């Protein structure tokens, strides 16, 4: 009877893991469960964000739908597709890949035309400061950030200018606004909720 109790206790114990002796790398990400947390590596350091609320996921799905509807043939619009940037492995909320992309599990930044981050209170600073700087250093030409704190979402667009992003448009409301990058698309953020 004691052995039976111990085996059931072992089965309910969360799996244990240990940190690597050096920097974190992409294979280390496979150690973690698919539990809704987002595990990313920034310059060899592990970064974990909590599971996103359903309201965030609904906006991500709406952005994907909007971009897919306007995508020219051969373009790919994906949610939570990883990008490998040097010693960093980032997972944007939405990624748009150019035609004839490699199709690798971790995308090459050269294949990426646009990344989109949808803010939550837990990711606000990460989405506004750290991730855009890494995307810009990698040469990703267009970055969008969706702010969801107001009554309706606000889309902020940024275009790469040199080694950093320059502010483009600020789009809100239900009236569609035409954007030209990464390809012509009409955006109405109020319809995303």
How do residues 79-136 score in pLDDT, each as one tens digit? 999 999 999 999 999 999 999 988 788 999 999 999 999 999 999 999 999 999 999 9
Tell me the CB-side half-sphere exposure of residue 104, using CA atoms within 13 A. 11
The mean pLDDT of 16-44, rounded to a whole number, is 89
Q: Which pTM value belongs to this model?
A: 0.88
User: What stretches of the chain show up as alpha helix (H) in DSSP?
Assistant: 2-12, 54-70, 124-125, 131-137
Q: What are the structural domain ranges in the chain?
A: 53-192
CATH hierarchy code of domain 53-192: 3.90.1570.10
The mean pLDDT of 25-44, rounded to a whole number, is 92
- Please check the confidence at residue 14 and state whether its pLDDT lies above 80: no
Tokens of residue 43, six digits: 């310059």
Pair 123, 132: CB distance under 8 Å: no
């Amino acid at each position: 009877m004691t052995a039976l109790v111990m085996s059931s206790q072992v089965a309910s114990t969360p799996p244990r893991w240990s940190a690597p002796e050096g920097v974190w790398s992409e294979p280390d990400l496979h150690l973690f469960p698919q539990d809704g947390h987002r595990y990313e590596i920034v310059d060899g350091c592990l970064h974990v964000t909590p599971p996103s609320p359903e309201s965030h996921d609904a906006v991500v799905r709406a952005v994907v739908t909007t971009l897919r509807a306007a995508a020219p043939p051969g373009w790919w619009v994906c949610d939570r597709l990883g990008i490998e940037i040097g010693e960093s492995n980032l997972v944007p909320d939405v990624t748009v890949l150019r035609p004839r992309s490699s199709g690798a599990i971790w995308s090459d930044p050269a294949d990426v035309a646009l990344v989109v981050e949808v803010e939550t209170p837990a990711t606000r600073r990460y989405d506004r400061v750290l991730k855009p700087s890494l995307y810009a250093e990698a040469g990703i030409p267009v970055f969008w950030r969706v702010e969801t704190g107001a009554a309706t979402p606000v889309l902020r667009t940024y275009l790469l200018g040199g080694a950093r992003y320059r502010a483009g448009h600020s789009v809100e409301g239900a009236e569609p606004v035409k954007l030209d990058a990464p390809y012509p698309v009409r955006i109405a953020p109020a319809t995303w909720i």
